[in-house]
Amino acid sequence: MELSETYACVPSTERGRGILISGNSKSDTILYTNGRSVVTLDLNNPLKVSIYGEHAYPATVARYSPNGEWIASGDVSGTVRIWGAYNDHVLKNEFKVLAGRIDDLQWSADGMRIVASGDGKGKSLVRAFMWDSGSNVGEFDGHSRRVLSCAIKPTRPFRIVTCGEDFLVNFYEGPPFKFKLSSREHSNFVNCVRFAPDGGKFITVSSDKKGIIYDGKTCEILGELSSDDGHKGSIYAVSWSPDGKQVLTVSADKSAKIWDISDNGSGSLNTTLNCPGSSGGVDDMLVGCLWQNDHIVTVSLGGTISIFSASDLDKSPFQFSGHMKNVSSLAVLKGNADYILSGSYDGLICKWMLGRGFCGKLQRTQNSQIKCFAAHEEEIVTSGYDNKISRISYKDDQCTNEESIDIGNQPKDLSLAPLSPDLLLVTFESGVVFLRDGKVVSTINLGFIVTALAVTPDGTEAVIGGQDGKLHLYSINGDSLTEEAVLERHRGAISVIRYSPDLSMFASADLNREAVVWDRVSREMKLKNMLYHSARINCLAWSPNSTMVATGSLDTCVIVYEVDKPAASRMTIKGAHLGGVYGLGFADDSHVVSSGEDACIRVWSFTPR
């Protein structure tokens, strides 16, 4: 089996903080982090993605070395890992640099030294070290609170500038680096500092809405960004143009601005960039930016990445987005074109197309959390953590008429019967609720703890799985259930049940890592010993031709079984998603789609043996 496409997660963002993205101008890629993943994304083709997941803690920042061969990335534990940018991402070194999280790191222009800054939990807040040995190159005193950003002058004589939450901008000479002077021009957090490419000037931006330009060699103040048409909110990040004559800033006022920097160091506004399609909510605050070659990249709090062309600013930007949190459910819908809907637990539903990637977010009227999710042609049903079921009518990427129904219990699982479209079954802790036309028509107590559910498309039969590992088969008459049989095989609570598309079989999986395929008529096991996961099974899917079953598990693997062959002749994808696989579906008989804890969606192609 091989990976054919990855739809990347978006950068992790946090309200009130900027994020510092970086890139490599030779290969035109950018680097950002989400959870424990460090993502490398090609600006010219966002489907070209590589993900590094070897950090033990959430990663915070990553930077290419000047020659583009190595990447240094830092995480919340204060560890910096230096690894190869290509192929197998081989680890060169790992150093414990600070006692708290790393907020920024930079390479020196000769690629020999790295400076990292962040939170020191009472110990040092900035450290510079040799990239190969980890030995210190200087003493960094003068900060009393978290240091949000640092920069190294790209030309000799080397200088280091740091800035942070104590409103200070500190200037160090070296190497070995030592404190030279401090500037107290800002009156709020100083969020980002960057040297111009030629090292002649540097700029700091702050939550006091100001940007100040200094001389790169002496640290004397040259000027500032004009306040007449300046930002109305905190400025979170800044990036120089490749020629060093302009800077790009992004702010909480939801705008990005390009400034012309004169030789004497004053900044005048050139243009204000507005991202189209913004709803004006907090998610549109811009928290990160990068100017690389002809690309001007901005990142919003909601994770939308916009790429403008510097040579043609009037052209509307290329935009894409995705999930920031665990993608817990996924549905492949057949229509004029096959597309994928994915839901993450923070309430976001995204639409994807094979070969194209991101196709938009669904604009919902109420953004409630998503625990269970089912979709069919033009209807989506979700349940959250508030006893409510939401039915969303969905047409041409627009959600119309979202109604929520209170069922009086916390929903555990839900199942649609597409051929009797008004019927919806929802299970709760001890029973099942029938909904017809958006109204609760009956609530049945089943007398055991219910964990999973599946209903046939015509709404005449249901399989309900219990905490005790038993499968109860019911026939549905009107709004009542009649128990037909109880199947015993599983040794753990049932986690998922699915009917095959041709309705001749159904498959069930449990928390004790076993899956079973049953014949629907004889109720005998059709495929057993599907015991190849090392942790609980979260999701299960059938191929459209009913010959294959795929299971996804907390152990990060996806396994595809063929129903008429023994379970041992399976196909396994190891490490499909960092942190576990939570959503699974077949796009067609040779492509399986998976999603997981790492907020990414991947498409795998295989040839049945």
Calpha distance 55→91 (Å, rounded): 11
- Largest Cα separation within the chain, whole Å, is 86
For residue 491, give the nearest of 473, 474, 508 by alpha carbon.
Answer: 508
Confidence of residue 234 (pLDDT cuts 50, 70, 90): very high
pLDDT digits (tens, 9 = 90+) for 373-431: 888 877 888 888 888 888 888 776 667 777 888 888 889 999 988 888 778 899 999 99
Task: Give the Å distances, CA to CA, from 559 to 8, 600, 604.
Answer: 22, 18, 11
Specify the pLDDT at position 142.
87
Q: Given a cut of 70, is residue 10 above it in pLDDT? A: yes
* Residue 589: how many other CB atoms lie within 10 Å: 15
Specify the pLDDT at position 92.
93
Confidence of residue 519 (pLDDT cuts 50, 70, 90): very high
Contact present, 290 and 23 (Cβ < 8 Å) = yes
List strands edge to edge, sheet with 2-7.
2-7, 601-605, 591-596, 581-588
Structure tokens at 324: 């920031």
Calpha distance 145→165 (Å, rounded): 6
Calpha distance 27→477 (Å, rounded): 63
E strands, 97-240, are 102-107, 113-118, 126-130, 147-152, 159-164, 169-173, 178-183, 190-195, 201-206, 211-215, 221-224, 235-240
Residue-range definition of the domain harbouring residue 285: 185-319
- HSE, side-chain direction, 13 A CA sphere, residue 445: 1
Calpha distance 448→148 (Å, rounded): 54
Calpha distance 118→124 (Å, rounded): 9
Q: Is residue 334 part of a domain?
A: yes
Q: Count of domains in the chain? A: 3
Give the type of residue at 10. Answer: V
Q: Phi, psi at residue 380, to the nearest 5°?
A: -125, 135
Angle (CA) 573-579-580 rounded to 5° is 50
Task: Identify whether residues 236 and 348 lie together within a single domain.
Answer: no
Specify the pLDDT at position 607.
84
Task: Identify whether residues 113 and 214 lie together within a single domain.
Answer: no
What is the per-residue DSSP string for 433-454? EEEETTEEEEEEE-SS-EEEEE
Q: Given a cut of 70, is residue 337 above it in pLDDT? A: no
Q: Is residue 530 part of a domain?
A: no
pLDDT digits (tens, 9 = 90+) for 538-580: 999 999 999 999 999 999 999 999 999 998 899 999 999 999 9
Q: Is residue 517 part of a domain?
A: no
Q: Which of 384, 406, 428 is the last residue of a domain?
A: 406
Q: Which DSSP letter does residue 532 get?
A: -
For residue 148, give the nearest of 111, 122, 117 by alpha carbon.
Answer: 117
Task: Identify whether residues 35 and 108 lie together within a single domain.
Answer: yes
Task: Identify whether residues 127 and 139 lie together within a single domain.
Answer: yes
List strands edge to edge, sheet with 126-130.
102-107, 113-118, 126-130
Specify the pLDDT at position 69.
93
Q: Helix H segments across 393-435?
A: none
pLDDT digits (tens, 9 = 90+) for 68-121: 999 999 999 999 999 999 878 999 999 999 999 999 999 999 999 999 999 987
Q: Is residue 481 part of a domain?
A: no
Contact present, 157 and 148 (Cβ < 8 Å) = no
Specify the pLDDT at position 98.
93
Confidence of residue 345 (pLDDT cuts 50, 70, 90): confident
Confidence of residue 336 (pLDDT cuts 50, 70, 90): low
Specify the pLDDT at position 595.
95
Task: Identify whether residues 56 and 133 lie together within a single domain.
Answer: yes
Please give the model's pTM, rounded to 2 decimal places.
0.91
Query: Which element (helix H / strand E) includes 75?
Result: strand 70-75
3-state SS string for 173-189: ECCCEEEEEEECCCCCC
Mean pLDDT computed over 12-33: 92
Specify the pLDDT at position 503.
93
Q: Given a cut of 80, is residue 279 above it in pLDDT? A: no
Mean pLDDT computed over 212-227: 91
Confidence of residue 278 (pLDDT cuts 50, 70, 90): low
Query: Which element (helix H / strand E) includes 540?
Result: strand 537-542
Q: Is residue 577 part of a domain?
A: no
**Which domain CATH number covers 381?**
2.40.10.480
Better-predicted residue by pLDDT, 214 or 437 = 214
Task: Identify whether residues 309 and 331 lie together within a single domain.
Answer: no
**Which domain CATH number covers 46?**
2.130.10.10
Task: Identify whether residues 330 and 315 lie together within a single domain.
Answer: no
For residue 449, give the nearest of 472, 417, 481, 477 by alpha carbon.
Answer: 472
Specify the pLDDT at position 61.
95
Query: Which element (helix H / strand E) includes 526?
Result: strand 525-530
583, exposed or middle or buried, with CB in 10 Å at 0-12, 13-18, 19+? buried
Specify the pLDDT at position 11.
94
What is the per-residue DSSP string for 88-104? T--EEEEEE--SS-EEE
Specify the pLDDT at position 363.
76
Total residues found in the chain within this entry: 609
Q: Which of 285, 319, 353 is the last residue of a domain?
A: 319
Task: Identify whether residues 60 and 161 lie together within a single domain.
Answer: yes
- HSE, side-chain direction, 13 A CA sphere, residue 549: 30
Task: Identify whether residues 151 and 234 lie together within a single domain.
Answer: no
Q: Given a cut of 80, is residue 447 above it in pLDDT? A: yes
User: Residue 263 CA to chain centroid, in angstroms?
Assistant: 41
Q: Is residue 448 part of a domain?
A: no
Mean pLDDT computed over 225-243: 91
Q: Is residue 600 part of a domain?
A: no
To the nearest whole number, what is the mean pLDDT of the chain?
91
Q: Which DSSP letter does residue 199 get?
A: S
Task: Identify whether residues 245 and 354 lie together within a single domain.
Answer: no
For residue 236, give the nearest of 103, 108, 39, 142 by alpha carbon.
Answer: 103
Q: Which of 319, 334, 351 is the last residue of a domain?
A: 319
Q: Phi, psi at residue 118, to the nearest 5°?
A: 165, -140
Task: Identify whether residues 159 and 78 lie together within a single domain.
Answer: yes
Task: Identify whether residues 305 and 369 lie together within a single domain.
Answer: no
Among the residue ranges 60-69, 284-293, 356-365, 452-461, the one predicted with the least confidence is 356-365
Q: Is residue 439 part of a domain?
A: no
